[in-house]
Amino acid sequence: MKEDKELYEFFSKSEKRFQPGLSIDSVIFGFSDNQLKVLLNKLKRMELWALAGGFVLKNEHLDDAATRILRERTGLSNIFLNQFYVFGEPNRSDKKFHIKRMQQVGWPVQKDYWLLQRFITIGYYALVNFSNVEAKRDYMSDVCDWYDIHDLPPMIIDHGNILNKALEVLRTQLKYQPIGYNLLPQKFTMPELQKLYETILDAKLDRRNFQRKMLGYGILKKLEKRREGGAHKAPYLYSFDLKKYHKALKEGLHGAW
């Protein structure tokens, strides 16, 4: 099969091309319409899913490698990735998994082969609007698709753990960095913004407290027009004050000292 040949070639060429013992895995969170999803690849011939992961070329900057890997594995580009943590448990790699794939394509298994050593992986994450992006699978995968974070399929090695850590970092980040631009429509209501936070935090928030906090950050502009067409009193529309939003991205939501 074509993919067997491609995998065999990957095994032959990779040892020379890539930095030893080092991989990158990216957790791409997608928000749209009050749903939080994550982008996963289903591996061919296995009922196992994986983050968008790969290796670092010997002369490649880590951030460039993360961008390239994401593009190669999912077809996505122009996504800003944040490095968030290094995963380095000594036994985190699954050698049996690699050996199985080597045997499937007839690659001679040797104990000192590059891929059978210990790998540490650098975790990156991003949060995008998943209705704007269409992911494409690569030759190693059957499917590349968005999965609800409450209903995740079985994942290889520590990828579930990497995903959880990324989610934890994302939730912490909500407390000191603005979020929402590119995830919400240009004009939105306070309940819509609250829903974004509730979806990421997976928790119900107090309406008044949320509104007070949000307005206190000073990153919102209240618009003249209210949303029309509802049965109830029309809610106010807001948009982000982009200058203040970007200032808060840099200095933190609670302002400079």
Q: Which is nearer to its own copies, 56 or 166 (CB)?
A: 56
Strand, helix or coil at 252? coil
Q: Could you list the beta-strand ranges (E) of 33-140.
A: 35-43, 49-50, 52-57, 82-87, 120-129
Question: How far is the C-alpha of 190 from the C-alpha of 214, rounded, in Å?
Answer: 9
State in angstroms the smallest separation of the CB of 129 from its own copies. Answer: 22
Calpha distance 56→66 (Å, rounded): 8
Strand, helix or coil at 143? strand
Q: Residue from 197, 235, 244, 247 that binds its own copies (CB under 8 A)?
A: 197
Question: Is-contact 164 149, C-beta < 8 A?
Answer: no
Of 20-28, 183-191, 219-227, 233-241, which segment contacts its own copies by CB under 8 A? 20-28
Pattern 67-106, its own copies, x by CB under 8 A:
----------------x-xx-xxx----------------
* Binding test (CB under 8 A) with its own copies, winner from 120, 143, 169, 249: 120
The verdict on 212 binding its own copies (CB under 8 A) reads no
Q: Minimum distance between the CB of residue 227 and its own copies, rounded to whole angstroms? A: 24
Contacting residue, 61, 136, 207, 226, with its own copies by CB under 8 A: 61
The residues, any chain, with a CB within 8 Å of residue 257's CB and separated by 6 or more, are none
Does residue number 229 form part of the binding site for its own copies (CB under 8 A)?
no
Separation CA 62–CA 82 (nearest Å): 11
Contact between 113 and its own copies per CB under 8 A: no
* Separation of first and last alpha carbons in the chain: 62
**What are the residues binding its own copies (CB under 8 A)?**
19-22, 56, 58-62, 83, 85-86, 88-90, 117-118, 120, 122, 172, 174-176, 197, 201, 203, 205, 209-210, 252, 254, 257
